[in-house]
Structure 1
Amino acid sequence: MSAPEPTARIAHPLLVVIDPVARRTDGESVRIAKDVLCAGADVRICLPEGPEEFARALARRGGRRPVVVGDDRALLRAVALLHRERDLGDGALALVPVGTSVDLAHALGVPKGAVAAARAVLEGAVRRLDLLVDDSDGVVLGDLRIPAAPSPVASAVSVWGVCRSLVRTLARPAPRPAPPLARTYRLRVEADGVLLNDLDRPVEDVSLCSRGGRAEVVIRPQGGEQVRVEALAVTVSGPDFRYRADALVSGPVRRRTWTVRPGAWALLLPA
């Protein structure tokens, strides 16, 4: 591939932190991103070998704008670190998505391809974005879901079903499998102090996402109509449950509160 055309240099110096996973999975895209960025800005390159070096590089960035070259997990790591340092709102973060898991980056508006993403770093505009912050200081950039888990009864039924199926197969052709049992959670969900669902009504799914400075909450109860509201704070409690926030699965927990922080962080996106 031919070398990218040089772009006009910008005044803002950059700290380019290249995640080790990106270097291993797609070294060519990393090289292209470095060439474009170095042609258009005063760049300092950092090649951390692990999370600790990644954190130290961001902490020592000085007046340079941080640019992460990596996948969704690298972006989440950078935002979480800056949030814990209480530096997230001080300046814009930039990303060149490289890796196999970059759906979150594209959903946020970061261009596909190393050249387009790197040029957005040089020529793009700062966009303020909302953030979901939980009561353990965790952050969510995109969507959060609490999908239902199989109940112990369902698991036991499935095991006995396999045993019966094996026995029947020895004697005659196996019958058609029974439809799977519904997966549900028993959760208490509150939005801004208002009870939306209690433990006596099982739910199949709960989802949260930040939209325009508020959290959109969608509850899908078993056998009932879904509930959709907007709120600033959402609390979910009940028996141990896990949840998927962006690309990560967390838990089990018995209670968690997520609060929307409007415009809490900034990302460089195409102008």
Structure 2
Amino acid sequence: MYDVVLLTLGKGEDGAASCGSGGGCCGSGPADARGDCVDTPRVPVLSCADALTARGARVETVTARSNAEIDAVLARLDGPARPDGLDWPDPDGRTRLVVATASDSQLRAVMRRLVRRYAPPPSRRPADLAADRTLPDLPAIAILPLDPAGTARVGTDAPSDLAGQLGLPRDPAAVAAAVLEGRVRRLDLLRNDGGSVTLDGALVGAANEAGQPLAWRARVEVDDMVLSDGDDPLLACAIGNAGGYAEQAGVRLLSTADPTDGLVEVAVAVPVTTRSRWGRRRVRLEVRRARGRAVAVNPRDPEVPFLDDGVADTLSRKRSWWTEPGAWAVYDIDPS
């Protein structure tokens, strides 16, 4: 028998999202505006709990209103005490976690805490940690979208959130089946030197009040390849683990972002002016792409807005992202 925790993110005692910086329990911006932070379980959560109970699981629903409350749930995934004193996930644990999410930023908030719990400091790196990783295999989680239909991606019927991109079950009963009888899919994780994580991707760039992109400058490097030396005017920079920011304003930025290939795909959009044979000036958009293990963006402008898994922030100094291959995992329906 499994113990299953259904985790929902709620508002703090002051009525505001209080979990984590740069996104909080409930994410930031549009998520809070939609009232995604709740204090009572929603219908999908109750339906999923009923389906889990019917399959023989012991179920507990938890609404976390602070990082400490998230951490208390994640502690249930700990393995036996280690001689080195590090917190480490239990690969054979009987406790499973379902994260009910109204936005990818909520999922990111939980994953930030999971990484914070299990990533050892460099000075205490254990010998049994893989050479290409800075953290162990994180415990698998199930994603329960609170919006069963989701918002469709342009030109498709698939929802645009991460669960939709990955083709994960959305119906509460199907999520319950995946948790107890499905398979574990391991996925790449992006960490960055700002102390955060990226599951889907980041989009760097500014826009005016009409939504038109504004030019900015930055040096963008992917491994040893330079996409921009800092002198080019950039309209966008997409950093893709999955494909959430693959297309913007009708322009295809990312072409092959894959959260299982151990690489990050990066694209920059550069306006290029040319002249016709009659001397007329034309501006076309040049998209430069590269794939690698790490990317660094060093802005030349004072503050450049960006979105990271839907969470808004500004880039005022060099920021680097790197890939942790197969570091996190989700429960999915077994195709067999």
State the TM-score, normalizing by the size of structure 2: 0.63
Aligned to 1:221: 270
**Aligned letter for 1:85?**
R
Deviation at 1:199, TM superposition (A): 1.9
For 1:228 and 1:135, the matched residues in 2 are separated by 22
Pick the structure with more helix per residue: 1
Aligned to 1:17: 7
Larger Rg: 1
Deviation at 1:188, TM superposition (A): 0.7
TM alignment of 1:121-140, pairs within 5 A: 121-140=179-198
Count of aligned pairs between the two proteins: 234
Aligned to 1:171: none
User: Of 261, 283, 293, which residue of structure 2 is paired with 1:232?
Assistant: 293
For 2:114 and 2:174, the matched residues in 1 are separated by 25
1:34-77 deviation line (CA, Å, top 9, x unaligned): 10011224324142340232232222445412221232333222
Distance 1:22 1:56, change over 3 A: same
Aligned to 2:308: 245
Deviation at 1:14, TM superposition (A): 2.1
TM alignment of 1:45-56, pairs within 5 A: 45-52=60-67, 53-56=69-72
TM alignment of 1:1-271, pairs within 5 A: 11-20=1-10, 21=36, 27-52=42-67, 53-62=69-78, 63=93, 64-71=95-102, 72-86=104-118, 89-99=137-147, 103-150=161-208, 183-210=214-241, 211=258, 212-223=261-272, 224-238=285-299, 239=301, 240-271=303-334
**Aligned letter for 1:67?**
V
Instruction: Report which stretch shifted further, 99-108 or 71-80.
Output: 99-108
Secondary structure of the residue that 1:203 maps to in structure 2? coil
For 1:46 and 1:98, the matched residues in 2 are separated by 14
For 2:172 and 2:96, the matched residues in 1 are separated by 18
For 1:93 and 1:133, the matched residues in 2 are separated by 18
**Aligned letter for 1:189?**
V
Distance 1:181 1:104, change over 3 A: closer
For 2:197 and 2:74, the matched residues in 1 are separated by 17
For 2:227 and 2:77, the matched residues in 1 are separated by 44
Contact 2:267/2:287, CA 8 A, preserved across alignment: yes
5+ unaligned residues in a row in structure 1: which ranges? 1-10, 159-179
Contact 1:96/1:114, CA 8 A, preserved across alignment: yes
**Aligned letter for 1:98?**
L
Distance 1:124 1:98, change over 3 A: same
Distance 1:181 1:131, change over 3 A: closer
Instruction: Report which stretch shifted further, 50-59 or 129-138.
Output: 50-59
Contact 2:40/2:63, CA 8 A, preserved across alignment: no
Distance 1:222 1:35, change over 3 A: same
Secondary structure of the residue that 2:286 maps to in structure 1? coil
For 1:198 and 1:268, the matched residues in 2 are separated by 41
Query: What do you get for the CA RMSD once the two structures are aligned?
Result: 2.6
Runs of 4+ in 1 over 4 A off after TM superposition: 21-26, 99-102
**Aligned letter for 1:17?**
L
